[in-house]
Amino acid sequence: MTVTHENSVSANAQKSGALSHTLYVLKGNPVTLLAFLMLGFFILSALMGEHLAPYDPLASNADRVLQPPSLDHWFGTDPLGRDVFSRVITATRLDLFIAVSAVALSFVIGSLLGCVAGYWGGKLDIILSRTLDTIMAFPIFVLAMGIVAALGNTVENIVYATAIINVPFYARLVRAEVNIRRNAGFVHAAKLSGNSDLRVLALHIYPNTLPPMMVQVSLNLGWAILNAAGLSFIGLGVRPPTPEWGIMVAEGANFIVSGEWWLAVFPGLWLMLAVFTFNLLGDGLRDIVDPRQRS
């Protein structure tokens, strides 16, 4: 039907490849485009937060305490007279840093474990699966609490805790994806082509697990942010006066019953937007990285 038409166009279309496909998907999906724009905004805030912020996030001002949002202070001021907007913007870097490094750690460790278990199977697989089962037997937030409590109350430990609780998700996903492809025709073909096991795994099987992994990464970044903010909300990890969304919500919570809503609402809203962005991206990424969708 469309084959003949496709033939002539394809030569040019293939050249530009991934980029044009990305643009194509974005055009058809304005929500994903929005998610990308929001991601850009968050990355910008993370990279140059202090330059974007109108005030010093740590500077208190006794004259302007607990002021509601105004043109001077878009998000109002806190009980020490610090500008909430500046604090919210500068907090982006820390929150994203925790999430990204935790997810990167669990991505790498999970991929390695999952590949080994999924491809070679056997005893290794059983041991790994049981270990992961045990880790997953803990409610994840509770385990994170336990780890931070045991390792010590620092930002690095929040990263490690978040990474540990996420490893099972990646390992299981990769294991399942590798396992279903272990006996696929193209894997046999790759072996016949003279590829060693390691090469088959690294060059033929693993790249095919990336589409679902990308989706998982994106969704996980959202969870990781929520998790870190949750931990600091209950007083773990980041310590005041460092600006961080979870702590700011916790500090603002005490004022909510007396009507000073802006203290908790704006950092909470920002936190929500960041998580929302990553969740939207997760769905959008699925369309972009999956080559079967390219047409």
Partner 1 sequence: MSPRLRAILMRLVQAIPVVIGVVVISFLLTRALPGDPAVYFAGAAADEASIAQIRESMGLDKPLPQQFLNYVIDLVQGDFGQSISSGQPVIDDLTNRLPASLELTLTALILSCAIAIPLGVMAAKKPGSLSDQLCRILVTAGVSLPTFFTGIALVYIFYYLLEIAPSPLGRLDFAFIEPDSVTGFYLIDAALAGDWETWFAAFKQLILPAVTLALFTLAPIARMTRASMLSALSSDFIRTARAAGLNESRVTYGYAFRNALLPVVTTLGMVFSFSLGANVLVEKVFAWPGIGSYAVEALVVSDYAAVQGFVLSMALLFVTLNLVIDLTYSLIDPRIGFDSK
Partner 2 sequence: MLKIKDLNVSFKTRNGTVNAVRGVNLEVAKGKILGVVGESGSGKSVTSYALMRILDSGGSITQGEITYSGIDLRRASEQDMGEIRGREISMIFQNPRAALNPIRKIGHQIEDVLRQHSQATRYTAKAKAIEALKAVKIRNAEERYDAYPFELSGGMCQRVVIAIALACNPRLLIADEPTTGLDITTQKAVMDLVMELIRERQMSALLITHDLGLATEYCDQISVMKNGEIVEQGTPHDIFTKPVHPYTQKLVKATPTRGASIRDLLPVSNAAPLPPRQISDVPLLQVRELRKTYQGKSGPVNAVKGISFTIFEGQTVGLVGESGCGKSTVSSMLARLLDSSSGQILFSGTDLTDVPAKNFAKDPRRTDIQMVFQDATDSLNPRYTARHCIADPLKRLMNMKGKALDSKVEELALLVGLPVHLLDRFPHQLSGGQKARVGIARAISVNPKFLILDEPTAALDVSIQAVVLNLLADLRAKLGMSFLFVSHDLQVVRLLSDHVIVMRDGEIVEQGPTETVMNTPASEYTRTLLSTAPKPPADQTAA
The interface partner of residue 236, options being partner 2, partner 1, none and the CB cut-off 5 to 8 Å by kind, is partner 1
Nearer to partner 1, 174 or 271 (CB): 271
196 binds partner 2 (CB under 8 A): yes
Nearer to partner 1, 13 or 269 (CB): 269
Nearer to partner 1, 157 or 206 (CB): 157
264 binds partner 1 (CB under 8 A): yes
Give residue 210's Cα distance to chain centre: 15
What's the burial of 81, exposed, middle or buried (CB within 10 Å: 0-12/13-18/19+)?
middle
**What residues are paired with 83 via a beta bridge?**
77
- What is the closest distance, in whole angstroms, from the C-beta atom of residue 7 to partner 2 in the complex? 6
Dihedral (Cα; 171, 173, 176, 181), 10-degree rounding: -110
284 binds partner 1 (CB under 8 A): no
Which residue in this structure is represented by tokens 């496709």? 6
122 binds partner 2 (CB under 8 A): no
Nearer to partner 2, 61 or 195 (CB): 195
What's the burial of 265, exposed, middle or buried (CB within 10 Å: 0-12/13-18/19+)?
middle
Contacts with partner 2: how many residues (CB under 8 A)? 28
Per-residue contact flags (x/-) with partner 1 for residues 108 to 147, judged by CB under 8 A: ----------------------xx-xxxxxxxxxxxxxxx
Residue from 40, 207, 235, 240 touching partner 2 (CB under 8 A): that is 207
Q: What are phi and psi of 58, to 5 degrees?
A: -105, -10
Q: Report CA-CA distances (Å) from 79 to 60, 74, 110.
A: 9, 16, 44
Give residue 80's Cα distance to chain centre: 32
Sign for the pseudo-dihedral over CA of 209, 212, 218, 223: negative
The interface partner of residue 295, options being partner 1, partner 2, none and the CB cut-off 5 to 8 Å by kind, is partner 2
The interface partner of residue 186, options being partner 2, partner 1, none and the CB cut-off 5 to 8 Å by kind, is partner 2
Residue from 6, 50, 72, 156 touching partner 2 (CB under 8 A): that is 6
What count of other Cβ atoms lies within 10 Å of the Cβ of residue 206? 20
**What residues are paired with 77 via a beta bridge?**
83
- By CB under 8 A, name the binding residues for partner 1: 130-131, 133-147, 149-152, 219, 222, 226, 229-230, 233-236, 246, 249-250, 252-253, 256-259, 261, 264-265, 268-269, 271-273, 275-276, 279-280, 283
